[in-house]
Chain A
Amino acid sequence: MKLKRISALMLAAVMTVGGATTVMADPLNTATGGGTTITGEGKVDYVNTKIYSVTLPTTAAMDLTIDPQGLTGLENGKTATLKELEDYAGLVASKGKALVTNCSSVKIKVSVELLGTGSATFVDSAAAVEAEGENILLYALPSAVDVQDNADNYEASTTGVLISTGSGTTLDFVLEPAEYVVSKSDSGALSYKPKDGQKGHGTAISFEGAVNKDADWSAYSGAAATKTIGMTAVFTYDADLDGAVADTTEGAPYGMVAMGSGTITVAAKAKAPSIGATGTYNKATGVITATVNLGTGAKATTLKSAKYGSSSDGATNEVVSPKIEGTTFTGSVSSSVKSGWSSKAAGSTVYAVITLDDGTSEAVALTVQ
């Protein structure tokens, strides 16, 4: 029994990013792939106990705001036009993004069981929301990209997973492991710990939807509320993937296992423009390369200017023939600068200041190649 407890502690240290590293001072004979099988010199026994490290969202991140009248269109202490209120009327949104990150050293399947609760009627289409009654359309909108450790990196996919009452809905995600490294001390002891800067892989989920603007929702609010509306979220995780495979088709939510039914297509959200902080300068060709995202939808913009120089402050020369294809920015320096910079050492840095029409600007550090 004692041995089993010790083993459990060891596994916890193995599986935890930045966790109880002191435990790792104990010598290990072997630490095999995934870290779920460890044997030691008699004092640490193998036991079939798998301990995972998974970051999960709490209810605080998922709490729902339901706005039948569009009152959130008002800014504090200000007025709003009827049109502005109408734009917000009927919207449902979660307070934050529900972050799910696998910090373990093995690939795992994380499932979340979602079940609509309360007195309202959960429907499955925007049209059904408008029918008479206290109707709500509520869906989970997972990220299209690997979010890792910060929900701020969330990018909405276009797959909304409907939340219903009855037996509820289960979303399955297959999440890649965090990277771990094995090192050997002078005494020959092996330790197994997360690679520097490793933060795991995961997703984030936003909860959105709509309610019937014309229904009377007064019974759901205030101290004297007699009705409730909400959902439950229970998480499960295991290294036994049970055949689950993440859907890797373009646009699919990151890590999510495809669902045969129970989803709706959500209009792509406008994406803000962005400029990568680093790029390259090829001294043989004189070409500058950087990453520039021009945004989408209402937030789409265009290139305003691109200048270069030896320092970010000195970037005053216009880039020759600048263009953006996809998210790749290219342009050249003048032939005289190209000649002058030909003596620059590989790995040194020059700069390009790229500015977009919406005001987004970045001094891009270009590594000389």
Chain B
Amino acid sequence: MDKPEEGVQNVQESARERRKTSRLQIVLNVVACIAALGMLAAITVQMSRQKEVTETGPVTPGYVRGTVVTKDNVDEVLASAGESVPAGSYNCTMNVEWHFEDSGKASYDAYVLNSAFNTYTVYFDVSLRETNELVYSSPYIPVKAELDSIQLTSRLDKGEYPAIVTYHLVDEDLKELSTVSVAITLFIEN
């Protein structure tokens, strides 16, 4: 008597266990799906942002373009001559010396605010002055938002690195409007 009951009990427990495992599996699958979708979205946003930069943005920090007027573009040049320049200035509220315990950790004092003076969302790239190597690319920062957990994407040895922060001003559709470049110094302490 005991044995069959034990057997039934075991089967029931086993079934319960399977149901538990199955529920856990479902939860894990859902979490995994959400994570995968999130990553996909992040990659898509990142890729689309880089696409914008590639299509419209200069590679050289602070690049100011010269347009030679010809009969083909003179109407366009004249049409824009009287207009005020959109995204013509940007209020930089930030520090210019960023310290890192080591390049694998977020800076403990880097700080960037897209101040209330500004109109446009921005993101920024940090590149080394000597090599032009891109060592950080920020997420989009809306007006009045700040960023203070900045972790480089490249490994740098201990030392002092002159760098350039290039802010990219974007419109509501995240289309790039203009840029401004500011020199900073990265200090890698270990």
Query: What is the total number of residues of chain B having a CB less than 8 Å from a CB of chain A?
Result: 56
A51's contact among B62, B89, B94, B183, by CB below 8 Å, is which?
B94
| A230 touching B63, Cβ below 8 Å | yes
A74's contact among B74, B164, B167, by CB below 8 Å, is which?
B74
Q: Which of B12-20, B22-30, B46-54, B110-118 contacts A (4 or more CB under 8 A)?
A: B110-118
Q: Nearest Cβ distance between residue A133 and chain B, in whole angstroms?
A: 15
Considering the complex, give the chain B residue whose CB is closest to the CB of A51: B95
Q: Which of B1-9, B31-39, B65-73, B151-159 contacts A (4 or more CB under 8 A)?
A: B65-73
Q: Nearest Cβ distance between residue B10 and chain A, in whole angstroms?
A: 53
Distance between Cα atoms of A72 and B100 in the complex (Å) = 51
Query: Given contacts A53-B91, A56-B92, A59-B178, is CB(A117)–CB(B80) below 8 Å?
Result: no
Q: Nearest Cβ distance between residue B59 and chain A, in whole angstroms?
A: 11
Residue A328, interface by CB 8 Å: no
Interface band, chain A: 35 or more
B111's contact among A9, A62, A67, by CB below 8 Å, is which?
A9
Distance between Cα atoms of A182 and B94 in the complex (Å) = 22
Residue A228, interface by CB 8 Å: yes
Distance between Cα atoms of A113 and B181 in the complex (Å) = 10
| A57 touching B77, Cβ below 8 Å | no
A 219-257 to B, binary, CB cutoff 8 A, 1 in contact else 0: 011100000111111111110000000000000000000
Distance between Cα atoms of A228 and B64 in the complex (Å) = 11
Residue A274, interface by CB 8 Å: no
| B164 touching A60, Cβ below 8 Å | no
| A54 touching B92, Cβ below 8 Å | yes
| B109 touching A4, Cβ below 8 Å | yes
| B95 touching A8, Cβ below 8 Å | yes
A 108-120 to B, binary, CB cutoff 8 A, 1 in contact else 0: 0000010001100
- DSSP majority for the A interface? mixed
| B113 touching A72, Cβ below 8 Å | no
| A71 touching B91, Cβ below 8 Å | no
Query: Given contacts A56-B182, A62-B64, A67-B69, is CB(A47)–CB(B109) below 8 Å?
Result: yes
Q: Nearest Cβ distance between residue A67 and chain B, in whole angstroms?
A: 4
Distance between Cα atoms of A286 and B85 in the complex (Å) = 47
Residue B174, interface by CB 8 Å: no
B60's contact among A8, A220, A232, by CB below 8 Å, is which?
A232
Q: Nearest Cβ distance between residue A78 and chain B, in whole angstroms?
A: 10
Interface residues of A in 42-96 (CB under 8 A from B): 47, 49-69, 71-72, 74-76, 92, 95-96
Considering the complex, give the chain A residue whose CB is closest to the CB of B73: A221
Considering the complex, give the chain B residue whose CB is closest to the CB of A15: B93
A76's contact among B65, B75, B108, B169, by CB below 8 Å, is which?
B75
Distance between Cα atoms of A113 and B71 in the complex (Å) = 33
Q: Which residues of B contact A53 (CB under 8 A)?
A: 91-93, 115, 117
Residue A20, interface by CB 8 Å: yes
Distance between Cα atoms of A66 and B66 in the complex (Å) = 7
Distance between Cα atoms of A228 and B87 in the complex (Å) = 23
Q: Which residues of B contact A206 (CB under 8 A)?
A: none
Q: Nearest Cβ distance between residue A42 and chain B, in whole angstroms?
A: 19
**Which A residues are closer than 8 A to B by beta carbons?**
1, 4-5, 8-9, 12, 15-20, 47, 49-69, 71-72, 74-76, 92, 95-96, 99, 103, 113, 117-118, 151, 217-218, 220-222, 228-238
15 further A-B contacts with Cβ under 8 Å, apart from A232-B60, A234-B183, are A5-B148, A17-B117, A20-B116, A47-B109, A52-B94, A53-B91, A55-B92, A56-B182, A66-B67, A69-B69, A221-B72, A229-B68, A230-B63, A233-B62, A234-B61
**Which B residues are closer than 8 A to A by beta carbons?**
58, 60-75, 77-81, 84-97, 108-109, 111, 113, 115-117, 144, 146, 148, 164, 167, 169, 177-183
